[in-house]
Amino acid sequence: MDVEILSRIQFAFTIAFHYIYPPLSIGLGLVMVFMEAQYLRTGNVIYEKMTRFWLRIFALIFGIGVATGIVMEFEFGTNWAVYSRYVGDVFGSALAAEGIFAFALESGFLGILIFGWNRVGPKVHFFSTIMVTLGSMFSAIWIVVANSWQQTPTGYHIVGEGLKARAEITDFWAMVFNPSSIERISHVWLGSFLAGAFLVMSVSAWYLLKGKYVALSRSSFSIALWVGVVSALLQLFAGHRSADVVAHYQPAKLAAMEGHFDSLKPADLYLFGWVNKESETTTGLAIPGGLSFVVHGSPDVPVRGLKSFPENERPGAVNFVFQTYHIMIAIGMFLIALTVYAIYLWWRGKLFEKRWLLWIFVWSVLLPQIANQVGWYTAEVGRQPWVVYKLLRTSDALSEAVQAEQVLFSLIMFTLVYILLFALFVYLLNKKITHGPYDDHNDDHSPRHMEMAESLTTKSH
């Protein structure tokens, strides 16, 4: 295998593995903010227990997220040196801004969040929870800005030629607010909220099914359910807006996502199907003229198909892009139905009687994760062969100084280390969940928090 394919596999593998964790941190952070706010508002100890319990899981997730995230930052330079030279002026700025505005914020306050229960007052602690969550959300802003710039480059000009060519910023804000930034950031945030909310709902549902920590689990579930239903519904709009941007700026990607080849006929919208790249056909269940309607508002207007693009400007793995995109859509729709139905039952006061539904929630924790993953596969495989859209090809972006054996070595190393890391993560997550929110010896209340809780309870009576 050559350097290109190995480097692509390594980047895909390390980023996909990394991306298990940040969405969970962002989403869980947000849910914890609501939990701790409830604690400060009501003074009910149950919310303190809840926050502390989820904080322990947050710490585990965050730790792996940081460790695997540093790998990403350095991989640009090690494996993609030409790319780094080309985009350094633009991408590097976004990355540096991420480090200084976002990453420092979350890592700084994380220490207080985890170790500070007995060192700072409840309000400062709550403030730290907000700062960590904001930090992780800012982090997403900058990294998605950097990625969006590669999808829809604006605010730059190209200087030099050949190996010396590179993009330089001409308008910083045009670079930050490039045509796809806002849509993609909101899409990523909502996907992250769903990941965090469904983790909380999954564990709470499991406790409820086992009849453990009932009061605590019901409250946790309800808080997370609200985050979940709002995010799932908003995601419908954010996702649609993202697809609009793709339709407008990356027609080849859209054509691959929808398995659409022929430019002359009105385009169908496939609910599911299979793309045959050789015969350039898609078979499956389709709404006739559906894609034309979604893109142009009329079922008769043709949509640009893959055949209209030169061979070397089409994404290679059309069926892969088609399938990942449709899996994402299917999961998104299912999550809307699930959360809306659950909220209806919650409102009627019958949610926690439906054991079958709770079982669905236990397993649904995987769905936002899968959707987040396949969504990114669609975005990144769909824009091939470009690493910077229409400007720099992935095959031209590699490090000249790096040989295939070296990449093979690092790829094997990362594979082994990440398998070990994932096994440890699952083991410890499972252990923390089995252990539950209460300690065997009841010493995990700090005296200060006990006092606070008591004084608040007495005040409210």
Please give the Cα distance from 327 to 272 (Å, whole number).
9
Positive or negative, the CA dihedral 445, 451, 456, 458 is positive
Which 164-193 residues touch another protein, going by CB under 8 A?
A: 164, 166, 168-170, 172
* Stretch binding another protein (CB under 8 A), from 206-214, 306-314, 377-385, 442-450: 442-450
* Stretch binding another protein (CB under 8 A), from 30-38, 105-113, 270-278, 327-335: 105-113
* Stretch binding another protein (CB under 8 A), from 65-73, 196-204, 207-215, 314-322: 65-73
Which 313-372 residues touch another protein, going by CB under 8 A?
A: none
Tell which one of 26, 31, 32, 71 touches another protein (CB under 8 A).
Answer: 71
Rounded to 5 degrees, φ, ψ at 286 are -135, 150
Question: H/E element holding 382?
Answer: helix 366-382
Which 401-420 residues touch another protein, going by CB under 8 A?
A: 401-402, 406-407, 409-410, 413-414, 417
Which 418-437 residues touch another protein, going by CB under 8 A?
A: 421, 424, 428, 431
Which 111-140 residues touch another protein, going by CB under 8 A?
A: 111-112, 114-120
* Stretch binding another protein (CB under 8 A), from 108-116, 177-185, 307-315, 359-367: 108-116
Token pair 């969970």 is found at 24
49 near another protein, judged by CB under 8 A: no
53 near another protein, judged by CB under 8 A: no
Which 144-163 residues touch another protein, going by CB under 8 A?
A: 159, 163
Q: How far is the CB of 66 from another protein (least distance, A)?
A: 6
363 versus 427: smaller Cβ distance to another protein: 427
CA 2 distance to own-chain centroid: 30
Please give the Cα distance from 377 to 167 (Å, whole number).
25
Provide CB contacts within 8 A for 185, sequence distance 6+. 140, 141, 144, 145, 148
Token pair 């909101």 is found at 186
59 near another protein, judged by CB under 8 A: yes
Nearest to 254 by CA among 288, 285, 295: 295
278 versus 400: smaller Cβ distance to another protein: 400
By CB under 8 A, how many residues form the interface with another protein? 77
What are the CB-based long-range contacts (under 8 Å, 24+) for 319-323?
Answer: 319/259, 319/274, 319/275, 319/276, 319/277, 320/377, 320/381, 321/253, 321/256, 321/257, 321/377, 321/378, 321/381, 321/382, 322/256, 322/257, 322/258, 322/259, 322/270, 322/273, 322/275, 322/282
118 versus 455: smaller Cβ distance to another protein: 118
Contact 373, 13 (CB under 8 A): no
* Stretch binding another protein (CB under 8 A), from 26-34, 57-65, 257-265, 297-305: 57-65
79 near another protein, judged by CB under 8 A: yes
167 versus 321: smaller Cβ distance to another protein: 167
Tell which one of 33, 110, 185, 199 touches another protein (CB under 8 A).
Answer: 110
Beta strands per DSSP E along 36-160: 156-159
70 near another protein, judged by CB under 8 A: yes
User: Which residues share a beta bridge with 281?
Assistant: 276
Contact string (CB under 8 A) for another protein, positions 384-403, x = contact? ---------------xxxx-
Q: How far is the CB of 386 from another protein (least distance, A)?
A: 19
What angle (nearest 5°) sits at the alpha carbon of residue 108, between those of residues 106 and 110? 65
271 versus 426: smaller Cβ distance to another protein: 426
30 near another protein, judged by CB under 8 A: no
Would you state the structure tokens that stand for residue 348, as one six-digit string?
A: 């009627």
Please give the Cα distance from 438 to 252 (Å, whole number).
53
